[in-house]
């Protein structure tokens, strides 16, 4: 009934610059329009007979598509002039504007880098916002970029609930799923959400990305949730352009892979054609919102102008194929609809096209004149905020006295009135206190609920606080950490547990690339505070092998902005947990709490039965200052031992031997905080002592010890006699051989002797 886009467009130009060709194609297509024209005003009727889209909606969507397109074209031109620093565009994907039109600005959105049309359309949802200028500032890496403050070209907006995403494809799906779960769960625990209760989460990504393990685990977790009739209102939008950089997605693969997945409800819409695609997008959005089930919207798109400005497709694809792809340009289809429906004349459409181009260039030139990030302090400003006074006040804030007798089984059983106990018990009691203090705290992971974790550290928490706040997840660390980010996005305080440090590594990107980077890439506007507990480190007797004794602290040590704490005794664990929770609450920090497994049950220090490693429970108004070390024998100056974790009791024992053998008095310092290292404290102790031993149970290379030695040297004490006692650069073997690869008391004594 209505004319379709001529296919293929004549290959009039064999030019390298396909952006110019796509640009010219559009203009020529409109100028040459000879299709039927029926004059009519823009009203509320269907844009075309049979379409679910009304005329006014169509015109607005077209405007959003044009904004997206001209931002791409502008970027291609101004990149070479060094005014713009990003050329991965949205051309061919502009139909995703339909998803924005049919969702709300309060539906949290985690977007694909080609969701420019979505972004332009979402900007309509709030008055007074300008998608062109805001985007131009981001393209120009201007300090005034409202999304990232000039730190990356991202789709992001605080008022529009678009959380900026990293370039790591698929890494955002677990947290999008987590946010959807959080929306539902918050209500169930009486937590006030920052968005309406019936919000859904929008999560877009490419067809190639859908194959990624991180994407697949999110689909699986969503289906696992829905299968149990639990809500997970996430709308996965697969923007299927049939290709990933240069690798084609097999024809039909997305439908084959997703159309029949149980508990992932599949909808397919033509993202190339607003008139025919709109109704199906509308059904998918309505389905997700109404049923609260995970929904998969397969949106047909195309990719024109290459993967990025640096991708010269003519070098690796035939011209015929390129022209055929360019003929599917959704803007040609939108132009046809505009002309055919009589909503626009060719002149009016061309004028709108040129006006939009002019707007984008004007904004880009304006953005180029704005200040960029000019010094390191500016760059790092949002990375790791720290407000000492507020953190201290929050950590010691104590207003839950009335709840505690109920939690601990009576006034007479309050833990601070009990005899000294070991680490596992004190962590457990501190968690009970934190849960009483923070009604928004959630603890989850593998086996943490009824069983109370492999080492019973979380025992009783579920009973005390219920299955909505303490629960088992499915077995996937990526999802555990994706959930944590999702809960945090909705204002909850997540305490995810990673069962063993060795199993952090396969999900590490969720912290390294995602959680720890959010404040940085959102210029401090979004934050995902959490306290991640990880059972860690070696020295277990009778339960061994590498994977239960992993000592790779290195994997955490270089994550910008992350806080890593590692207590060696129960009282420190309790006060440190309070400080970590406060850092999360006050400054939105992502925190890792390394629990030395081998010390969980340790009761004695020097002799069997001496109870030397039992500690009293610190009352709930006490906390540890962030960065503060614990010093044993502060008056001693002959030898300084800088250590942490299992190294602390070992060093204390070794110190006795050293004192007996050499007559040296030994000062042992438990650093407790491994990231950031307290370089000032290290330097202070070194300055006061004659010799230094660094005892680091982590690995020799890139371990904590390297950081300590560097701090000593940089503080000007490079000439102090110094030795390192460190783990070997190896995996840990099973049984007794495990002790060959990690420091021992004898090693510490021997290192001291070597300095005599």
Ligand X SMILES: Cc1ncc(C[n+]2csc(CCOP(=O)(O)OP(=O)(O)O)c2C)c(N)n1
Binding site for ligand X (CB under 6 A): 114, 167-169, 206-209, 239, 241, 243-245, 303, 307
- Token couple for 735: 């049984």
Query: Which of the following is catalytic: 70, 112, 548, 685?
Result: 548
Q: Which residue has the tokens 């603890």?
A: 443
Could you say which of ligand X, Mg ion, none residue 505 binds, taking C-beta under 5 to 8 angstroms by partner kind?
none
Work out the number of other CB atoms within 10 angstroms of the CB of residue 4: 11
With CB under 5 A as the contact rule, which of the stretches 28-36, 240-248, 263-271, 309-317 interacts with Mg ion?
A: 240-248
Work out the number of other CB atoms within 10 angstroms of the CB of residue 292: 19
With CB under 5 A as the contact rule, which of the stretches 66-74, 178-186, 203-211, 419-427 interacts with Mg ion?
A: 203-211
Q: At what angle do helices 745-754 and 647-662 cross, to 10 degrees?
A: 50
> What residues numbered 206-225 form the site for Mg ion, per CB under 5 A?
206-208
* CB 308, min distance to ligand X, A: 9
Residue 22 main-chain phi, psi, to 5 deg: -65, -40
Q: Could you tell me where the beta strands, DSSP code E, fall in 518-615?
A: 530-536, 563-565, 590-596
* CB 289, min distance to ligand X, A: 26
* CB 208, min distance to Mg ion, A: 5
3-state secondary structure 663-698: CCCEEEEECCEEECCCHHHHHHHHHHCCCEEEEEEE
307 versus 700: smaller Cβ distance to ligand X: 307
Could you say which of ligand X, Mg ion, none residue 167 binds, taking C-beta under 5 to 8 angstroms by partner kind?
ligand X
* CB 555, min distance to ligand X, A: 18
Count Cβ neighbours within 10 Å for each residue of 573-587 and write b for 16 or more, e otherwise. Answer: bbbbbbbbbbbbbbb
195 versus 243: smaller Cβ distance to Mg ion: 243
Residue 736 main-chain phi, psi, to 5 deg: -60, -30
- Token couple for 9: 């467009």
230 versus 245: smaller Cβ distance to ligand X: 245
Active site residue 548: yes
Could you say which of ligand X, Mg ion, none residue 114 binds, taking C-beta under 5 to 8 angstroms by partner kind?
ligand X
Q: Which residue is nearest to Mg ion (CB)?
A: 206
CB 545 within 8 A of CB 732: yes
Could you say which of Mg ion, ligand X, none residue 569 binds, taking C-beta under 5 to 8 angstroms by partner kind?
none
* CB 47, min distance to ligand X, A: 27
CB 447 within 8 A of CB 453: yes
Could you say which of Mg ion, ligand X, none residue 746 binds, taking C-beta under 5 to 8 angstroms by partner kind?
none
185 versus 241: smaller Cβ distance to Mg ion: 241
Q: Which residue is nearest to ligand X (CB)?
A: 206
241 near Mg ion, rule: CB under 5 A = yes
112 versus 723: smaller Cβ distance to Mg ion: 112
CB 272 within 8 A of CB 300: yes
CB 542 within 8 A of CB 529: no
**DSSP symbols for 538-552:** S--SSS-SGGGS---
Q: How far is it, in rounded angstroms, from Cα 632 to Cα 419?
A: 22
With CB under 5 A as the contact rule, which of the stretches 84-92, 129-137, 236-244, 351-359 interacts with Mg ion?
A: 236-244
207 versus 433: smaller Cβ distance to ligand X: 207
Could you say which of ligand X, Mg ion, none residue 150 binds, taking C-beta under 5 to 8 angstroms by partner kind?
none
* CB 517, min distance to ligand X, A: 14
- Distances, alpha carbon 402 to alpha carbons 393, 398, 418, 684, in Å: 20, 10, 18, 42
* CB 610, min distance to ligand X, A: 52
241 versus 334: smaller Cβ distance to ligand X: 241
313 near Mg ion, rule: CB under 5 A = no
Residue 702 sits at the vertex; the CA angle it makes with 699 and 708, to the nearest 5 degrees, is: 95
Could you say which of ligand X, Mg ion, none residue 168 binds, taking C-beta under 5 to 8 angstroms by partner kind?
ligand X
Contact residues toward Mg ion (CB under 5 A) are 206-208, 241, 243-244
Active site residues: 548
């Amino acid at each position: 009934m209505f004319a379709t886009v001529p296919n293929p467009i004549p290959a009039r130009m064999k030019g390298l610059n396909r952006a110019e060709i796509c640009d010219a194609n559009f203009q020529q297509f409109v100028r040459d329009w000879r299709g039927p024209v029926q004059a009519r005003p823009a009203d509320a009727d269907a844009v075309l007979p049979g379409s679910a889209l009304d005329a006014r909606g169509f015109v607005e969507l077209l405007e959003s598509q044009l904004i997206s397109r001209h931002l791409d074209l502008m970027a291609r031109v101004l990149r070479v002039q060094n005014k713009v620093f990003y050329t991965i565009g949205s051309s061919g994907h502009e139909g995703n504007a339909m998803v924005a039109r049919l969702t709300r600005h309060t539906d949290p959105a985690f977007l694909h880098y080609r969701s420019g049309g979505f972004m332009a359309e979402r900007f309509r949802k709030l008055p007074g916002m300008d998608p062109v200028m805001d985007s131009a500032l981001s393209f120009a890496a201007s300090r005034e970029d409202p999304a990232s403050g000039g730190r990356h070209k991202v789709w992001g907006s605080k008022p529009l609930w678009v959380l900026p995403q990293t370039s790591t494809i698929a890494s955002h799906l677990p947290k999008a799923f987590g946010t959807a779960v959080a929306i539902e769960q918050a209500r169930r625990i009486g937590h006030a959400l920052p968005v309406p209760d019936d919000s859904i989460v929008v999560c877009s990504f490419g067809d190639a990305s859908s194959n990624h393990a991180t994407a697949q685990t999110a689909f699986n977790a969503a289906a696992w949730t829905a299968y149990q009739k639990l809500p997970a209102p996430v709308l996965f939008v697969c923007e299927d352009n049939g290709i990933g950089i240069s690798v084609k997605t097999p024809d039909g693969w997305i439908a084959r892979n997703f159309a029949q997945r149980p508990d992932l409800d599949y909808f397919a819409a033509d993202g190339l054609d607003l008139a025919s695609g709109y109704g199906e997008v509308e059904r998918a959005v309505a389905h997700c919102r109404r049923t609260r089930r995970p929904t998969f919207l397969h949106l047909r798109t195309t990719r024109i102008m290459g993967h990025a400005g640096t991708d010269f497709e003519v070098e690796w694809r035939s011209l015929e194929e390129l022209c055929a792809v360019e003929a599917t340009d959704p803007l040609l289809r939108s132009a046809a609809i505009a002309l055919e429906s009589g909503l626009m004349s060719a002149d009016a459409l061309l004028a709108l096209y040129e006006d939009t181009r002019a707007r984008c260039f004007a904004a880009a030139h304006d953005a180029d004149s704005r200040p960029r990030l000019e010094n390191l302090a500016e760059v790092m400003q949002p990375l790791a905020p720290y407000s000492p006074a507020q953190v201290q006040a929050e950590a010691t804030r104590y207003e839950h006295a009335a709840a505690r007798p109920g939690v601990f089984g009576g006034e007479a059983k309050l833990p601070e009135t009990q005899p000294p106990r070991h680490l596992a018990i004190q962590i457990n009691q501190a968690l009970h206190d934190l849960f009483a203090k923070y009604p928004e705290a959630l603890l989850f992971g593998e086996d943490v609920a009824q069983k109370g974790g492999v080492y019973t550290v979380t025992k009783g928490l579920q009973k005390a606080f219920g299955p909505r706040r303490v629960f088992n997840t499915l077995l996937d660390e990526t999802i555990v950490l994706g959930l944590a980010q999702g809960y945090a996005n909705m204002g909850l305080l997540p305490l995810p547990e990673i069962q063993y440090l060795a199993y952090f590594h396969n999900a590490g990107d969720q912290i390294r690339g995602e959680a720890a980077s959010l404040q940085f890439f959102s210029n401090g506007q979004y934050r995902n505070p959490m306290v991640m507990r990880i059972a860690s480190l070696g020295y277990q007797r009778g339960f061994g092998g590498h994977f239960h004794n992993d000592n790779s602290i290195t994997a955490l040590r270089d994550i910008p902005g992350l806080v890593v704490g590692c207590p060696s005794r129960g009282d420190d664990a309790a006060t440190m947990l309070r400080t970590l929770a406060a850092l999360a609450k006050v400054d939105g920090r992502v925190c890792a709490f390394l629990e030395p497994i081998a010390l969980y049950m340790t009761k004695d220090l020097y002799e069997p039965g001496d109870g030397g490693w039992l500690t009293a429970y610190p009352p709930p108004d006490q906390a540890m200052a962030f960065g503060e070390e614990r010093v044993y024998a502060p008056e001693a100056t002959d030898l300084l031992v800088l250590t942490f974790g299992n190294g602390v009791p070992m060093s204390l024992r070794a110190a006795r031997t050293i004192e007996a053998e050499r007559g040296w008095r030994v000062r042992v310092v438990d650093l407790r905080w491994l990231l950031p290292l307290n370089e000032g404290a290290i330097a202070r102790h070194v300055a006061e002592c004659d010799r230094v031993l660094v005892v680091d149970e982590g690995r020799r290379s890139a371990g904590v010890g390297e950081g300590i030695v560097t701090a000593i040297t940089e503080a000007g004490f490079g000439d102090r006699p110094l030795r390192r006692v460190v783990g070997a650069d190896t995996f840990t073997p099973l049984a007794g051989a495990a002790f060959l690869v990690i420091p021992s008391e004898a090693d510490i004594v021997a290192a001291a002797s070597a300095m005599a």
